[in-house]
């Protein structure tokens, strides 16, 4: 198969994987917030969120993750020169962290399935932003590769993270104020 076709498929599944992760954690937030509802509402909504989470996870998110890895490894196999590039080592480190993020999301889903709520909705909102940071870091590494000024890139990465945390805190403040 042509390298560009493999690359296109890799990108399609990366987008699908991230879409699944972003929506999954959003479902976790809504699921966790059912604790604030009456028992009847919490039961109905909780059951519906469990169905939605399971379908999203096993029909979209996890298959997209697997295919992302398959096509990514295929690209590396076809172009092993990439493995000698320092930016690729950093990118692959972020991918490993993203895989760990994926596993933790599955653990959260399984806890919610058992009606165990270990995370607050605010912590889940912050957790959701971590995936955004991975996305930003990976895209910038791939696009800028060796032209990236690592000091500016690192500072920028942390600034984006700080801004995302501030945004979550502001949202929480307005949400509690409007209750």
Structure confidence at residue 64 (pLDDT): 98
DSSP string, the chain: --HHHHHHHHHHHHHHHHHHHHHHHHHHHHHHGGGGS-HHHHHHHHHHHHHHHHHIIIIIIHHHHHHHHHHHHHHHHHTGGGGG-HHHHHHHHHHHHHHHHHHHHHHHHHHHHTT---S-HHHHHHHHHHHHHHHHHHHHHHHHGGG--HHHHHHHHHHHHHHHHHHHHHHHHHHHHT-
**In the chain, how many domains are there?**
1
Per-residue pLDDT of the chain (179 residues; tens, 9 = 90+): 899 999 999 999 999 999 999 999 999 999 999 999 999 999 999 999 999 999 999 999 999 999 999 999 999 999 999 898 888 888 899 999 999 999 999 999 999 999 999 999 989 998 998 898 889 888 888 877 766 565 576 677 778 778 888 887 888 778 777 76
Structure confidence at residue 179 (pLDDT): 66
Structure confidence at residue 175 (pLDDT): 76
Structure confidence at residue 148 (pLDDT): 58
Structure confidence at residue 138 (pLDDT): 87
User: Containing domain of residue 90, as a range?
Assistant: 3-177
Structure confidence at residue 163 (pLDDT): 85
């Amino acid at each position: 198969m042509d390298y560009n076709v493999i690359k296109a498929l890799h990108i399609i599944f990366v987008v699908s994987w991230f879409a699944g992760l972003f929506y999954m954690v959003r479902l976790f937030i809504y699921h966790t917030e059912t604790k604030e509802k009456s028992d009847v509402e919490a039961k109905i909504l909780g059951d519906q969120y469990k169905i939605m989470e399971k379908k999203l996870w096993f029909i979209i998110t996890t298959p997209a993750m697997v295919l992302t890895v398959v096509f990514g490894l295929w690209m590396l196999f076809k172009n092993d020169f990439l493995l000698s590039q320092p930016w690729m080592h950093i990118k692959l480190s972020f991918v490993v962290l993203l895989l760990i993020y994926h596993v933790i999301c599955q653990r959260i889903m399984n806890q919610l399935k058992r009606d165990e709520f270990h995370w607050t909705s605010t912590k889940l909102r912050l957790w959701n932003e971590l995936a955004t940071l991975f996305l930003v870091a990976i895209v910038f590494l791939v696009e800028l590769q060796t032209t990236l000024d690592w000091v500016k890139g690192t500072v920028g990465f942390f600034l984006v993270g700080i801004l995302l945390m501030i945004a979550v805190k502001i949202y929480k403040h307005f949400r509690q104020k409007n209750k």
